[in-house]
Structures are given as C-alpha cells and as structure tokens.
Amino acid sequence: MSEVNGCTLPDHLFYDIANHIWYEPLADGRIRMGMTSVAVGLADNRIFAFTPKRPGRDIEKGKSFATIESSKWIGPARAMFDGRVSEANDDLIDRPSLLVADPYGAGWMIVAEATAPIPLDGLLTGAAMLAAYAEWMRDNNFAGCKDDGP
C-alpha cells in the first residue's frame, strides 16, 4: 500500500489517474473496478448515491459505467475499455458511504468482462502511478485526502 498526501493507493491495482478509477484484473479474466481515495477526497468524504449499470449491460470506453453523487458533484465513473457488466455492488447501492470507508475493498463498484483485450498500457501502477498522482495533486492544488470518516 502506498500513500500520496494522505491518499492510500494499493500497489497491485491499475489506475486511470484522469478519471480516478482503479482496475483489478481477476483470476477469471474479469476486471473489478472502483473509485480511488483521491476521488473520495475530492468529494469531501461524502458520497450520497451510487447508481451502476446493471449486470448484462454493456459499457463503452470513455463512457459512464456508474453515476456517483457526492456533496460537491454528481458525475460519471468512466470506463477505460469496452465490456459488459457481470456484477454490480448492491451493498454499495444501499450504503454509498462504503466508498468512503473502504474504497478498495467493500466499496468496489462493478465487475466487468472486457469484449476485447484491455490495453493496460494506458493505466498506471507502482512508482509511475505514485509520481503521476503527486503531479496531478500539485497541478490541481489538491491538498490530499483527509480522514473525516463516512
């Protein structure tokens, strides 16, 4: 687990820095997806609603796979690949505060199957991810994550 300005970022995940989404390739070939602690920090640790695409629905690269409502904005969680939703986190629908409490565990958003090979070269992990997030925070005057709890 790494940290940048108080934001935790697990080393084994792949990150879309621009959209603050993480990706975890699963052993069965599917991909678990969620929102980073940076996104939670941008929302002032207040998430009020999570509305995902339901299982069986298609997702498109660059398009929304879920809508998030926070104290500061309502917006899309965008996918980095084309695919189909195989699972949506129903617990997160009922308790959107899980995104704040555990963004990399109980707060996962969806699991999807890619319809073509996923180009992971557009995503960052490890040291490259840490450097990119530090630069993003600097460029966007983001002071970091604070732990106000759900």
Chain centroid to Cα 117, Å, comes to 20
Residue 127, exposed/middle/buried by CB under 10 A (0-12, 13-18, 19+)?
A: exposed
CATH annotation of 2-118: 2.40.50.100
Mean pLDDT value across residues 16-31: 92
| pTM for this prediction | 0.90
Do the Cβ atoms of 116 and 82 come closer than 8 Å? yes
More confident residue, 147 or 144: 144
| Beta-bridge partner residues of 84 | 58, 113
Mean pLDDT value across residues 27-45: 89
Do the Cβ atoms of 14 and 120 come closer than 8 Å? yes
* 150: pLDDT strictly greater than 50: no
pLDDT at 149: 44
Mind listing the pLDDT tens digit for each residue in 113-127? 988 877 676 788 888
* 145: pLDDT strictly greater than 90: no
Grouping H, G, I as helix, E, B as strand and the rest as coil, residue 23 is strand
Mind listing the pLDDT tens digit for each residue in 81-121? 999 999 999 999 999 999 989 999 999 999 999 888 776 76
